[in-house]
Amino acid sequence: MSKLSKKFIIFAANAKTYFKMVKVNSKRLKSALAGGLTGAVNGLFGGGGGMVAVPILKNMLGYDDKQAHATAILIIAPVCAVSAIVYILSGYFSWQVIIPASLGTVAGGLAGAALLQKLPEFIINITFIVVMFAAGLRMLF
């Protein structure tokens, strides 16, 4: 048997492995592209990246719903820190707004997390949709 055909047989035998490697890389590539979208949205709008990150973690990395929500925060936190620096360096910064708004957000967040256990999910989802829809319309026009 010639050297070349030997090489070909080895290649063919390993084809499955190569295919797997490409597949893994395309998963990486997909999650990288989706991550890029998350960052762009979060940077442009100063938030909302979590809403993009949760479906990525669920659909591309196979996380379950609760894991995806928890891990999305891990992704968004450094991204928010980076884009906050960009905003601050661009001069969009007001201590008078940021300090009270941050204090309020933390207090409200803790209260909200406690309330979450008590309210039915359906009510929460409806509230969310109505608030987002009304705010979206108000800001568009």
Partner 1 sequence: MSFYLYLLAGFGAGLLGGMGMGGGTLLIPVLTIFLGVEQHIAQAANLVAFLPMAAFSLSAHKKSGLLRTDGVLSVVIPAAVTSIAGGLIASLLPAMILRRFFGLFLLFLAFRGAAKLKLTP
Cβ nearer to partner 1, comparing 6 with 48: 48
Q: Residues in contact with partner 1, total (CB under 8 A)?
A: 92
In the block, residue with structure tokens 């949760």:
54
Environment class of residue 49 by beta-carbon count within 10 Å: exposed (0-12), middle (13-18) or buried (19+)?
buried
Q: Considering the rule CB under 8 A, would residue 21 count as an interface residue with partner 1?
A: no
Per-residue string for binding with partner 1, 46-75, x by CB under 8 A?
Answer: xxxxxx-x--xx---x-x--xx-xxx-xxx
Residues of span 65-124 touching partner 1 by CB under 8 A: 66-67, 69-71, 73-84, 86-88, 90, 92-94, 96-98, 100-116, 119-122, 124
Query: To the nearest whole angstrom, how small is the minimum distance from the Cβ of residue 11 to partner 1?
Result: 28
Q: Who's near 116: CB < 8 A, 6+ residues apart?
A: 124
| Contacting residue, 14, 20, 37, 58, with partner 1 by CB under 8 A | 37
Q: Are 34 and 56 a contacting pair, CB within 8 Å?
A: yes
Q: Are 38 and 79 a contacting pair, CB within 8 Å?
A: yes
